[in-house]
A and B are shown apart, each in its own frame.
Chain A
Amino acid sequence: MSFNLEIISPQQIIFNDDIELCILPGIEGDFGILKNHMPFLTTLRIGIAYIYKNKKIIETFLVNGGIVEVSNNKCTLLSEDIVKTSEHKDQKTDDKIEIEKLRVSKKFYYS
């Protein structure tokens, strides 16, 4: 019960594998794609794409806009701004955490 999902960005092909289900943030609401989905074309908003295989989430992506085409058991996601959630790092938050750590470590508690 699997179909092919391909995620392409202008820089590279990010994902290309057979999967069972993907849930994508469509412009009019989230939608899931299973095998034998009807031909479908929509645009994406900002959100998270979940990819399932063997009834487990194997990968999640942060998507900021894009296009999805489904036809003939092949799903293609085109996006200029897409990144694996695990690889995504918000530099600002990290910096803030570091600053807080420093502040806390320098504090004299027993003075």
Chain B
Amino acid sequence: MPSLKDLRNRISSVKSTKKITSAMKMVAAAKLKRAQDNAEKSRPYANKMKDIVFSLISRSSTNNIKFSKTDNKKTVLLIVCSADRGLCGGFNGSIIKHTKNVTDTLKKKGKDFKFLFVGKKAHQSLRRLYNNLTIDLVSDFANPSIEFNIASSIRDQVLKLFFENEISECYLIYTKFKSAISQNVESQKLLPIEKDDQVENHKGAIMYDFEPNEEVILDDIIPKNIAIQIHSALLENLASEQGSRMTAMDNATRNANDMIDKLTLFYNRSRQALITKELIEIISGAEAV
């Protein structure tokens, strides 16, 4: 049985842990508010851009846009967005798990893959599994808000690899923000750009007048679209991270409270037991005399 002093120490250490977790919860809640605002504000732009690009592609007469073909048929680039820091519940864990699932299916299809990490955490745990497959690591980008040029520099890197035939496909793995307690890991295809069946259904819509012409506009806006999709994914990811951290820290604070209650009860009981024991000793000693 632990002595009373041990118990007191234990209670005070749990109390200070609780202070830390509740402070982290407050910080995360404040950051979440801002991150959520930013993520929601970026949505109309990203969605509209996506619509325009897909309607352009589905109408385009030529199938050979320069963003849809490549000589390399094997290598897939995965852009994995995770957090820079831990203590955010299952956030990084679920991203890593999802990435592993994706790589397993790619392996079965006989494809190679490479990684571009945004955020340290996924890199730290995946680099052991997949040695030498990391192209780049972007970290410490969210202080305090995410600049657009981070997304465009990632885009430039991806397009360079694509045109040099280093990669044939590119996917973006990130966490989509729904609310502070529910986030979903999603993968989104960035490259190559193809007419898919779903888009085909839009046909028969109005014909646009293009200036100067479809190909030039497509070449101009596809890189823009890629950058904006990356940017909005990063914003969603940041909001999800803060949301996840807030709930995790909320849970931790509640657990610390429970623990303090239990320990205090135990402490009081042992103290009482000790007093009773001493009394019994004194009384039985007096009776013996």
Residues of A within 8 A of B (CB): 8-13, 26-28, 31, 38-43, 67, 69, 71-72, 76, 78, 80
Contacts and interface: CB of A to CB of B under 8 A. Distances in A.
A42 B220 CA distance: 10
B209 A13 contact: no
Contacts of A78: 45, 48-49, 52
Contacts of A11: 38, 41-42
Contacts of A39: 206-209
A7 B220 CA distance: 19
B221 A71 contact: no
Contacts of B121: none
A-B residue pairs, 6 tightest by C-beta: A42-B211, A39-B208, A39-B206, A41-B208, A8-B45, A40-B209
A13 B42 CA distance: 9
Q: In the complex, which range does the number of interface residues on chain B fall in?
A: 20 to 34
Interface of B: 38, 41-42, 44-46, 48-49, 52, 56, 148, 206-212, 216-217, 220-221, 224, 228, 231-232
A10 B45 CA distance: 6
30 contacts: A8-B44, A8-B45, A9-B45, A10-B148, A11-B41, A13-B41, A31-B211, A38-B209, A39-B207, A39-B209, A40-B209, A40-B210, A40-B211, A41-B52, A41-B209, A41-B210, A41-B211, A42-B211, A42-B212, A42-B217, A67-B217, A67-B221, A69-B48, A69-B208, A76-B48, A78-B45, A78-B48, A80-B148, A80-B224, A80-B228
A28 B48 contact: no
A71 B42 contact: no
A20 B230 CA distance: 35
Nearest to A71: B206
B211 A67 contact: no
B54 to A, nearest CB: 12
Given A41-B217, A71-B206, A27 B212 contact: yes
A67 B228 contact: no
Contacts of B220: 43
A8 B40 CA distance: 13
